[in-house]
């Protein structure tokens, strides 16, 4: 089971954030926290502001790079970096000018990326007691089922992207902890 919360994204009007705690429940009805998932749904059709006929919001925000940016798009973001992983992922997948998937991807992947909406897993972490015991797949499926059951426009069914960033973050935390 998942306790799911959806929030409007502070940075991008075309995105909705999801923050979920994933639980398992034993036969004794005790709920144990299995892990956390943070996701973002990008809606490529959203147009807002004074130019509703202009480029969609995602093209003006997620696909733009600040003029003074001097970081490396291909690397996982760090806390002080101006670009979040959501921003980076879509920079790597889509051409900024055409707003189409980059040619590096085959027809099948390109077709999935052409969807009007995409869901991106920004953070996924199991509690230490549940790691290495086969719970990751069930936790992710529980999260995706909860997002599918959300009411109204927050409900999501479609392609889901997983960045290696969440694994990188947790690996670094584990190394620091010894």
pLDDT at residue 127, as a whole number: 92
Over residues 74-130, the pLDDT tens digits come to 666 665 677 777 778 888 888 888 888 988 887 888 888 999 999 989 888 899 999
Report helix, strand or coil for 175: helix
Q: What is the mean pLDDT of residues 155-167?
A: 77
The pLDDT assigned to 118 comes to 92
Question: What is the model's pTM?
Answer: 0.79
CB 130 within 8 Å of CB 97: no
Q: Say what percent of the chain tops pLDDT 90.
A: 16
How buried is 176 (Cβ within 10 angstroms: 0-12 exposed, 13-18 middle, 19+ buried)? exposed
Three-state secondary structure call for residue 22: strand
For strands 2-8 and 117-126, give the pairing.
unpaired
Spatial separation of the C-alpha atoms in residues 31 and 145, rounded to whole Å: 18
d(CA 92, CA 101): 9
What span, in angstroms and rounded, lies between the C-alpha atoms of 107 and 100?
12
Which among 176, 147, 145, 159 is positioned nearest to 101, based on CA atoms? 159
Q: In 3-state terms, what secondary structure has residue 80?
A: coil
pLDDT digits 0-9 by tens, 54-74 = 788 888 888 888 777 777 776
Tokens representing 164?
């290696």
């Amino acid at each position: 089971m998942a306790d799911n919360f959806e929030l409007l994204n502070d940075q991008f009007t075309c995105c909705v954030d999801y923050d979920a705690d994933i639980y398992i429940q034993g036969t004794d009805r005790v709920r144990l926290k299995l892990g956390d998932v943070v996701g973002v749904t990008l809606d490529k059709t959203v147009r807002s502001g004074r130019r509703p006929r202009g480029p969609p919001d995602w093209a003006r925000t997620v696909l733009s790079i600040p003029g003074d940016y001097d970081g490396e798009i291909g690397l996982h973001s760090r806390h002080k970096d101006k670009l979040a992983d959501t921003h980076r992922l879509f920079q790597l997948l889509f051409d900024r000018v055409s707003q189409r998937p980059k040619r590096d991807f085959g027809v099948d992947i390109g077709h999935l990326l052409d969807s009007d909406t995409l869901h991106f897993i920004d953070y996924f972490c199991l509690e230490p007691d549940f790691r290495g015991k086969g719970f990751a797949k069930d936790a992710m499926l529980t999260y995706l089922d909860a997002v599918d059951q959300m009411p109204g426009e927050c409900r999501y069914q479609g392609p889901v992207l997983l960045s290696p960033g969440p694994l990188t973050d947790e690996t670094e935390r584990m190394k620091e902890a010894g």
